[in-house]
Amino acid sequence: MVLQLAFVLVAIIVGARLGGIGLGVMGGIGLAVLTFGFGLQPTSPPIDVMLMIAAVISAASCMQAAGGLDYLVKLAEQLLRRNPSHVTILSPIVTYLFTFVAGTGHVAYSVLPVIAEVAKETNIRPERPLGIAVIASQQAITASPISAATVALLGLLAGFDVSLIDILKITVPATAIGVLVGALFSMKVGKELTDDPEYRKRLAEGYLDVPKVEIEDVRNKRNAVLSVWVFLLATVFIVLFGSFDSWRPSFTVEGKTVQLGMSYIIEIIMLSAAALILLLTRTDGIKATQGSVFSAGMQAVIAIFGIAWMGDTFLQGNMLLLTRSIEGIVSEMPWLFGIALFIMSILLYSQAATVRALMPLGIALGISPWVLIALFPAVNGYFFIPNYPTVVAAINFDRTGTTRIGKYVLNHSFMMPGMVATVVAIGLGLLFIRLY
């Protein structure tokens, strides 16, 4: 088992370094070693999760192609420029809502340069709003009803009579409050901008003499607004169907009444939303496949395909030994499983892949599904090593040099807000499951 685990970890580490679809295809190599080398029987690939993600990404990509995301970014810019003194509090709220609506943190890219400029113009250290804004875009993944991670968790907990609203009523307030607490802590990070030596140096060298960042107006506002409304209504319907079982269609199969599963409902609604956006806005379907949302989403699908399949095969092949080894410790201190989720997310760079790879072990260990929901925000740990795309983008957008990676790598601008937001979210989650 130890040797198998070594091959699994090597596949994960190498895949993360390759980037893009590298994580997923390296999972294929790991699976080949487990199957042909160690004789483990492959489990079924996570088809339902992959198809749900593909459907959601299709709708989000069509909204982006129709100008919907650009319209939302323009609204965010107007909000930030009207309230520049509150940029450290408003920025994470904006990126949180973007991710919550779209289901992917990559939509935050467009607003990061605006955050950096508004902060600089107000003499607020850009590191403060940028750091927590990036963390907020990650935390919202575990609160979004249509994110790949939430969809994956819902699928795994389907056998425990856990609905979508059961997950959201814990993760939404927990992560939202965690982000706000992180924002309050961020307001005191570092020296004031005018006292920062790196900023003074760049100012003296004329490095900051650059054109003002201005988000262009959306060309076809009607289509953009329409695409946003269609996408939002689709999301609302998914939440409603996930909250009220009586709303779902029922069918008689072999004399038994079977209710339509949430995976089918998400796929049907989101594919329909994508089609409606293209039809109502007359958007070219090819354009939808060329945006950043489609690219990032398909990478997530491939990652889950390879890594989750490999992880499932390893866990199922060694489940008896694993459960015997750690069942006693985890049953007494289930929060330790949260640390395992956090560490795995650092390796995988994907909340959805982390959920799909490790949550089955938590279920097999007998951890309560409610505790697993409370620990769900722990999968947001990939800020820990500062090489994730949104982290790198935030550093590059801050021309003052205050947002940076420290001398010891881990002492970077995202560590404190990330740890605060994650710990607070998990703590509140554990509190909420007791209250509920």
- Condensed to tens digits (0 to 9), the pLDDT of residues 378-420 reads 999 888 877 777 777 788 778 888 888 777 778 888 899 999 9
* Contacts (Cβ under 8 Å, ≥6 apart) of 430: 335, 371, 374, 375
pLDDT at residue 215, as a whole number: 60
Note the Cα 365 to chain centre separation in Å: 25
pLDDT at residue 210, as a whole number: 59
* Percentage of the residues of the chain whose pLDDT score is greater than 90: 23
Structural tokens at position 112 = 């990061």
Comparison of pLDDT for 240 and 374, the residue scoring more: 374
Q: Which residue has the tokens 């609905």?
A: 163
> What is the residue-averaged pLDDT of the chain?
84
User: Residue range 126-137: average pLDDT?
Assistant: 91
d(CA 376, CA 369): 10
pLDDT at residue 213, as a whole number: 56
Q: Please list the residues that pair with 251 across neighbouring strands.
A: 258
Confidence of residue 139 (pLDDT cuts 50, 70, 90): very high
- Asked whether 126 and 187 are in contact (CB, 8 A), the reply is no
* Contacts (Cβ under 8 Å, ≥6 apart) of 128: 88, 119, 186, 187, 189, 190
User: Residue range 245-259: average pLDDT?
Assistant: 80
The pLDDT of residue 147 is above 90: no
Q: Which of 430, 418, 428 is nearest to 136 (CA)?
A: 418
* Contacts (Cβ under 8 Å, ≥6 apart) of 7: 30, 33, 34, 37
d(CA 282, CA 250): 35
How many Cβ atoms are within 10 Å of 310's Cβ, its own excluded? Answer: 29
Comparison of pLDDT for 262 and 214, the residue scoring more: 262
Structural tokens at position 266 = 């998400």
Output b/e per residue, 345-368; b: 16+ Cβ within 10 A: bebbbbbbbbbbbbbbbbeebebe
How many Cβ atoms are within 10 Å of 187's Cβ, its own excluded? Answer: 13
Q: Largest Cα–Cα distance in the chain? A: 80
Confidence of residue 89 (pLDDT cuts 50, 70, 90): very high
Tell me the pTM: 0.79
pLDDT at residue 102, as a whole number: 77
